[in-house]
């Protein structure tokens, strides 16, 4: 049985990871796809680590730390999916390039890069739609998210095969990525 082609999509909060994943999913719909959104692997809030903000010392549930997710379960689910009949598997999330068990499985490693000011504006819009206030969102971002981004997400950029500009339309990048994926999959069948 042919092994699936596995893609990891990482990047900061609100950088455009899900948007890129959705575009790839739409364009690759002729293939058997499995998508793992790392957000689906968050532990219940009571099981997540707490941390004091570096400056204010206010305590927060640490949603941007690797221990916040069931990474072991994601790895087990990935291994199971590898042995099923999928053509392509996509893992999308903040830490898609971080985990040492998952990383070796990735055939293509993508990092969606976007300036911090643009990410915070996007995060504000998104989280306010979820019912959070401007003050709640901005305080958590300024107290915690930006530090965890620098600690866990940003260092994985160097592990990417390709860094995508999350600030501009992704059409050209998607076209290039699709061409590359299809070429690589065809090479794998010869």
Strands 33-37 and 108-113: unpaired
Tell me what pLDDT residue 190 has.
38
Nearest to 9 by CA among 95, 123, 114: 95
Tell me the pLDDT band of 167, cut-offs 50, 70 and 90.
Answer: confident
What's the mean pLDDT in 124-130? 90
Domain at 5-184: CATH architecture: 3-Layer(aba) Sandwich (3.40)
Question: What does the pLDDT look like over 79-107, one tens digit per residue?
Answer: 999 999 899 999 999 999 999 999 999 99
Domain boundaries, the chain: 5-184
What rounded mean pLDDT belongs to the chain? 92
Helical ranges in the chain per DSSP H: 17-27, 71-82, 116-129, 134-140, 146-148, 171-189
Tell me what pLDDT residue 109 has.
98
What's the mean pLDDT in 131-139? 88
**Is a pLDDT exceeding 60 seen at residue 128?**
yes
Residues 122-152 as b/e (b if ≥16 CB within 10 A, e otherwise) read bbbeebeeeeeeeeebbebbebbbbbbbeee
Rounded to two decimals, what is the model's pTM?
Answer: 0.91
């Amino acid at each position: 049985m042919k092994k699936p082609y596995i893609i990891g999509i990482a990047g900061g909060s609100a950088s455009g990871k899900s948007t890129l994943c959705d575009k790839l999913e739409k364009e690759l719909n002729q293939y058997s796809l499995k998508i793992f959104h790392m957000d689906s692997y968050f532990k219940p809030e009571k099981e997540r680590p707490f941390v004091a903000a570096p400056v204010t010392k206010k305590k927060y549930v640490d949603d941007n730390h690797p221990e916040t997710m069931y990474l072991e379960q994601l790895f087990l689910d990935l291994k199971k999916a590898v042995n099923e009949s999928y053509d392509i598997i996509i893992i999308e999330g903040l830490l898609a390039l971080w985990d040492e068990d998952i990383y070796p499985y990735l055939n293509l490693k993508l990092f969606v890069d976007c300036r911090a000011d643009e990410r915070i504006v996007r995060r504000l819009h998104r989280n306010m739609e979820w019912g959070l206030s401007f003050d709640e969102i901005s305080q958590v971002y300024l107290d915690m998210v930006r530090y965890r981004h620098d600690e866990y997400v940003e260092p994985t950029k160097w592990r990417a095969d390709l860094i995508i500009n999350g600030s501009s339309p992704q059409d050209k990048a998607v076209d290039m990525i699709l061409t590359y994926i299809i070429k690589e999959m065809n090479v794998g069948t010869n």
